[in-house]
Structure 1
Amino acid sequence: MNNLSIKRKLLIYNIIIQTFILIILALSIYKTLQISTLDKIETSLKVIVLDIVDDLVKHQDNYLIVDFNEEKEYKFKPLYIRLIDKNQKILKSTYFPDEIHKNFRKLSKDIINFKKFDNYILSEIKFSMLKDDYVLQVATDYKILNETMQNLFYILIFIIPIILIFSITGGYFLVYKSFKPIEEILNNLKNINSTTLSKRLTTSQKQDEINMLAIEINSLLERLEISFEKINQFSSDASHELKTPLTIIRGEIEITLRKDRDSSEYKKSLQTCLNEVMIIQQTIDDLLFLAKKENTSNNLEDVYIDEITFEAVKELKPFANIRAIDLKTQINDVFQVKGYSKLLKIAIKNILKNAITYSYKESSVEIKNSIEDGNYVITISDKGIGIPKDEQKKIFEKFYRTDKSRNKESGGTGLGMSIVEKITKLHNAKIELSSEEKKGTTVKFIFKGNIDE
């Protein structure tokens, strides 16, 4: 049984249960009819006994003239009748079986008693007539009962297999009909692997368990697909972005080892390797951040936007000074949002760093906090080289750089804007970018706010 499918197990269980139920039902019917037939015989005998006694008492002066012709009168065959006096002498009788005794000393007066023998059933009554006690005995055999039970037996033997066949056929139909959607789900699942995770099971508007199972499996497949995409994306991104710095490091080391060099050349080579290692480290950190599972429901805190704005500006002030960029802050409104302070600071710093990197020397970058149309807004604007219109939609793609040479010089990985976009989505916020070549770029973080008028 352990090696059988659930479908076949159910069929076997159905056959066993149906057979057991039908056998119990047949036995119950058989026993009930037997008791009912026996009760009917006893009732008939009781009526016949009372009728004969009534005739005897009515003609007691000449009771011998009473005919025991109840077989014809009641159409009840066979009937064995006899009248016995108190001395157990048979006064009047039809043919009576020898195995039925005539001892009636323990009989109560005017009460019909029934006795059962191997082949006969006897009804007898003690009554008074002509100031003496007499006993009337009326018996019959089990022929009627036996014929009735035999007929019932043949009927059950014939009908039970037919019922069982119909029952098993119905059970077979129900089981296979019920399991057909599951088999379709299994067949569809067999065709889904790591390369075909985009496939989904067919669902309907039904609210049954099979459809709900298909919906849940589709939901599971969707989560698996997202996880696989993240893993594949991480692998491809890592191999793509780490290949270049590793090649540079290898080439630098091979060139340095070809001949002996002075200390300044070694230092220069080591500095080049160190820069590339730092790029690798930053790339891995950024990729790991992008691959993290998104969860916006845990560890939320009240974030004061003015505080993280000042912190971001303070940390990037030295970098701005090196680039000869003036960092300006304009805090028009003080507000707070629910979120993650460290992540929001990373997003602001990434935009600020890009603004500083791509601004013209001795220009300015401004960061402003304000409330616009009931929303909390962080605006970062620069007066730099800008972004071409055809590239503005691609700016949030991983590893995309508008100016590859300058980005590489600044140590960028091409992942900064992807990280900003992810952080923004984590906070259910929007990011808007507007830019014009050679004039500058403006980036806005927009958080939905509850403003009390």
Structure 2
Amino acid sequence: MKTLSLTARISLLFAVSASLVLLATGYFLTQGVETHFKEGDLHELNGKLELIQNLFKHTYTQAELNSLPQRLDDALVGHHGLAVAVTDATGNIWFATSGADFPRTLLQDCHIQPTVCTSGTLRQWKLAGVSYRGMAVLVAAGNGRSYTVAVALNIEHHDLFMNKFRSVLAIAIALAALATASLGWAVTRWGLSPLRQVTNMVGGISAEHLAERLPTTGLPAELKPLATAFNAMLARLDDSFRRLSAFSSDIAHELRTPISNLMTQTQVALSSARGNDEYKEILYSNLEEYERMAQMVGDMLYLAQADNGLLKPSLEEVNLANETQDLFDYFEAWAEERGVSLIQTGSATVRGDRMMLRRALSNLISNAIQHTLPGKTVQISMARHGGQTTVSIENPGTNIPAEHLPRLFDRFYRVDPSRQRKGDGAGLGLSIVKSIVDAHGGSITVMSADQMTRFQLTLPALEE
């Protein structure tokens, strides 16, 4: 089933809405005209009834009663379309104008049920194809006799007018609906032209032109949020593409060096005969490169799991102070070699994956030792604040420029690119830390000022 376009839908809604309004207007207009005719007919009929009642009221003698029909004829001269009939108490017609055609029930009800004729209720009927509107009342003559007087108007010209009026009104409503649909289509198409312009601009954006943005000035208010949201999406895509490109480049660079080393060392080993010790030395050297690549691949797989929500930490009670002390013992020799002291204060217990949290702390501590000047101290402090546990790792050293702080947790990102092959690792350690913290529902922040850099972990505290 083909879906209607937005222009067609709005045009159709315009036409339907206009038709409903016009139909309602036509209905009330028709009712108003009908009411006007009824009120006019009622006024005329009441006037004739008052005249006839007055003639009967002043009839006292038989002679006056015998002359009454002539007086009624004289009184009704010139009233075309008006019919009058008078019946006596026995129901016989006493007087009737030419063309008077009344239902027998209308002439008899007043004598059978006098109460129904006191108010002169307006009735409408159709006889021999002619429509009438009239009423009947019970009148008393001056001599005490009662008569039923029925008056009616031929309303055939009213019916013809109303039929023609309804036909013209129906045609007008149909034409108005068609005109409204056409105007609605034109106006909607014109009104949606900015949307088509935006669509054309969006269609021209490709992966090579992600830096382009939709203009937000001059757009209708309804499209500005759409353009703003689309521009924000383009910015995210542009940033993701740039990071992906840089990520791919970094991977190629990181893998190229150990592969190049392996190839060179292998070529040297094969260039001439060597002793067992020399081959062992080359193999040990190659092993280091293999371990470096294995570590890099393992870290990348770990981050890929984190990206796809596959890092599901097991929940157990973890004493962070004990884990930190164990790591101090592990890094003690390296710290002494660099002339760096390690201090831990406070304690904290959380619920999480012990090995994952230990890995995060290990990465942060090794990073702090590596960037601490000889003779200085790395300090780790732990505390609980309400429902949260904080772990701060501080190390004195050169300040990290503020523009680098937001990107420290990006993969392969280094503040000083020239140092990337001098034992700083592949640049994935902090990315792994952030993934672990995120998997535990926590957060990590970094600040660097006054020759001091602080990484702070915030994790949900263990419920007491």
Q: Which residue of 1 aligns with 2:14?
A: 14
Q: Which residue of 2 aligns with 1:232?
A: 245
Q: Indicate conservation of the 8 Å contact 2:258/2:293, yes or no.
A: yes
Q: Indicate conservation of the 8 Å contact 1:325/1:365, yes or no.
A: no
Matches for 1:2-81 after TM superposition, within 5 Å: 2-19=2-19, 21-23=21-23, 25-27=25-27, 29-30=29-30, 33-34=33-34, 37-38=37-38, 40-61=40-61, 62-63=64-65, 64-65=67-68, 66-68=71-73, 77-81=80-84
The percentage of counterpart residues that share the same residue type is 18
Q: Indicate conservation of the 8 Å contact 1:70/1:76, yes or no.
A: no
Matches for 1:3-402 after TM superposition, within 5 Å: 3-19=3-19, 21-23=21-23, 25-27=25-27, 29-30=29-30, 33-34=33-34, 37-38=37-38, 40-61=40-61, 62-63=64-65, 64-65=67-68, 66-68=71-73, 77-86=80-89, 91-97=94-100, 100=102, 106-109=108-111, 111=117, 112=120, 114=123, 116=125, 117=127, 118-121=129-132, 122-129=134-141, 130-150=143-163, 152-153=165-166, 156-157=169-170, 159-161=172-174, 163-164=176-177, 167-168=180-181, 171-172=184-185, 175-176=188-189, 179-203=192-216, 210-253=223-266, 256=269, 263-285=276-298, 310-320=325-335, 324-330=337-343, 334=346, 342-355=359-372, 364=375, 366-368=377-379, 378-381=393-396, 398=413, 400=416, 402=418
Supply the RMSD in Å over aligned alpha carbons: 5.0
Q: Which residue of 1 aligns with 2:446?
A: 429
Q: Which residue of 2 aligns with 1:438?
A: none
Query: For residues 164 and 207 of structure 1, do their structure 2 counterparts lie closer, same or farther at Cα, with a shift above 3 Å needed?
Result: closer
Alpha-carbon shift at residue 174 of structure 1 (Å): 6.0
Q: Indicate conservation of the 8 Å contact 2:400/2:453, yes or no.
A: no
Please tell me the residue identity of whatever aligns with 1:78: G
Q: Which moved more, 1:298-307 or 1:244-253?
A: 298-307
Question: Which runs of 5 or more structure 2 residues have no equivalent in the other structure?
Answer: 383-389, 459-464
Measure the CA separation in 2 of the matches of 1:210 and 1:302: 52
Measure the CA separation in 2 of the matches of 1:54 and 1:219: 91
Measure the CA separation in 2 of the matches of 1:326 and 1:101: 126
Query: For residues 239 and 101 of structure 1, do their structure 2 counterparts lie closer, same or farther at Cα, with a shift above 3 Å needed?
Result: closer
Look up the SS of the partner of 1:413 in the other structure: coil
Q: Indicate conservation of the 8 Å contact 1:302/1:336, yes or no.
A: no
Measure the CA separation in 1 of the matches of 2:136 and 2:278: 136
Alpha-carbon shift at residue 108 of structure 1 (Å): 2.0
Q: Indicate conservation of the 8 Å contact 2:262/2:289, yes or no.
A: yes
Question: Which runs of 5 or more structure 1 residues have no equivalent in the other structure?
Answer: 435-442
With structure 2 as the length reference, what TM-score do the two structures score?
0.68
Alpha-carbon shift at residue 313 of structure 1 (Å): 3.3
Q: Which residue of 2 aligns with 1:445?
A: 454
Look up the SS of the partner of 1:108 in the other structure: helix
Measure the CA separation in 2 of the matches of 1:189 and 1:264: 65
Q: Which residue of 2 aligns with 1:440?
A: none
Look up the SS of the partner of 1:380 in the other structure: strand
Residue by residue over 1:298-318, the C-alpha shift from the partner in whole angstroms, topping out at 9 and shown as x without a partner, is: 999999987666444322223
Look up the SS of the partner of 2:109 in the other structure: coil
Look up the SS of the partner of 1:83 in the other structure: strand
Alpha-carbon shift at residue 235 of structure 1 (Å): 1.5
With structure 1 as the length reference, what TM-score do the two structures score?
0.69
Alpha-carbon shift at residue 239 of structure 1 (Å): 1.3
Alpha-carbon shift at residue 350 of structure 1 (Å): 1.7
Q: Indicate conservation of the 8 Å contact 1:46/1:123, yes or no.
A: no
Alpha-carbon shift at residue 430 of structure 1 (Å): 0.2
